[in-house]
Each structure stands twice: as C-alpha cells, then as structure tokens.
Amino acid sequence: MTEPAPRAEKSEPGEDGNKPEPTLLEQMGGVSGLIYSSLPVIVFVLVNSFFGLTAAIWSAIGSAVAITVLRIVRKEPLQPAISGFFGVAIAAFIAFRTGSAKGFFLFGIWASLVYCGVFVLSIVVRWPIAGVVWNLLNGTGQAWRKDKYSRFGYDIATFALAVIFAARFVVQRWLYQEDYTGWLAFAKIAMGYPLYALGLLVVVWAVRRSDKRLKALAASAPKPETDAEVEARLREKYAQTPQTES
C-alpha cells in the first residue's frame, strides 16, 4: 500500500519572520484606543454636569494619567497615551482660563482648522502628506513623487483627510458658538475615530494603487547592463569597425 501524501501544513502568521499586516482597527489603535481617547471627554462632561468645572478639569486630567499608567502596566505603546495626555492637559488649561466648560474643546476645534490648512498646502506644493508620511515610515523612498499617477492618488487621500478636518472644524465650531457642550463632546467622539477610519481607507487605497503602478513600471523598465555586458558590447562594436589604411 502506498502511504497517503502528507497534507500541507498551514503556516501561521509570522512564521516566515514577517509580522502579519495590521488590520484597519489595529492601525487606528484598536478598541482600547477608541476607549482611551473617549474616556477623558466623557468624564469631563459628566463631572461638569454634577460637580462643576473645576472638578471636571481635574477629573479629565486624572483619567488621562490613569490611562497612561494603565498602558505602562499593560506594556502597550506609550506614544498615543502621552500625546493624549498633553491634549487633555492643554484642553483643561484652556477651559480653566476661559472659565467655561466648552473651552475644553476649543483647542481641538482650531487644531482641526490648522491640520486642514496644512494638508491642503501639502497638495499645492506637490508633497501630499499622506504619501510623504506613509513612504517615510515604510522607508520606500521618493519614487512615488516622480510618477504623476501615484502622486495623484496620494493627493486624493490627503484631500480626503483635509475634508475630514474641515468638517470637524465647521460642525464643532458651530456647536461651540451655540453653547452645546454636551453635543460638542458627542461630536468630538463621533467625528474622531470613525472619520479617521474612513480617511485611512482612502490612504490604503492610494498606497495599493501606487504600489501596483510602481511595480508595473519597474517590471517594464529595461535592466541596466552589467560590466561584463558593457565590455562585450564594446568589444563587438570595435571589432566590427573597419580600420582605415594609413
């Protein structure tokens, strides 16, 4: 009897030494990232409603500190927690200086306008931020900038992110002027990660579009001659050149 052919074993992600590509949710910080970014805002609004502005400010800062400590204990990346802590600290300081709960959201509102302007400017100067940041982090060089097709895709992705920041500014600025503090908190959360996820989808589309294009160009480009090929070609050329009589 012949032995049955061995079944091909399924390779587990990462067996070849490469880490599996992170999912969209993981790139956004996962579920924990959504909770961490929302918690100080929720704490601030709730405490302000029951105990006043001062208690709300210290509670928001305390929750940001607790999140940072929790990330350290769980050995999670600290960069999001640290940036989040400074964001909450700045927002709390503005709320304290203005003496108004809605001042807690003022920094984020104007930051959205600045981000929108920077993203649009990067398109105008032909250095779309989506392409610059992605290729810088992945060390893929500047080949994408030399190809109009690739750069156009990154222009679209960058413009999509600019639109997101513009929408955040317009909506939250209106809520600020109308003194809708509770709705401001809701808008900050709802227009945060969900809209960022949509923007990231456009960035992923631009990246895949550019990668496919650059691979096709690289495959169709003539291969450079080796030293041996150059020498052989020159020998053949001069061997066929007729010598003139003196």
pLDDT of residue 217: 80
What contacts 203, CB < 8 A, 6 or more positions away?
130, 134, 157, 160, 161
Q: What are phi and psi of 57, to 5 degrees?
A: -60, -50
Helix, strand and coil content of the chain, in percent to the nearest 5, comes to 75, 0, 25
From CA 222, how far away is CA 214, in angstroms rounded?
A: 14
Confidence (pLDDT) at 10: 42
pLDDT at 127: 94
Q: What is the per-residue pLDDT for 172?
A: 95
Tell if the pTM clears 0.95, that is, is over it: no
Predicted local distance difference test score (pLDDT) of residue 55: 93
Nearest to residue 51, comparing CAs of 101, 93, 3? 101
Residue 240 has a pLDDT of 63
**Tokens 């989506």 belong to which residue?**
130
Q: What is the 3-state secondary structure (H, E, C) of 143-196?
A: HHHHCHHHHHHHHHHHHHHHHHHHHHHHHHHHHHHCCCHHHHHHHHHHCCHHHH
Pairwise CA distance, residues 38 & 192, whole Å: 9
CB 181 within 8 A of CB 45: yes
Question: What is the pLDDT tens value at each position of the chain, 246 positions in all?
Answer: 444 444 444 444 444 444 454 544 454 455 566 677 788 888 998 998 888 889 999 999 999 899 888 888 887 777 777 778 888 999 999 999 999 999 999 999 999 999 999 999 999 999 999 999 888 888 778 889 888 999 999 999 999 999 999 999 999 999 999 999 889 989 988 888 888 889 989 999 999 999 998 888 877 766 666 766 666 766 776 766 555 554
CB 190 within 8 A of CB 38: no
User: Would you state the pLDDT for residue 31?
Assistant: 54
Tokens of 148: 């109009």
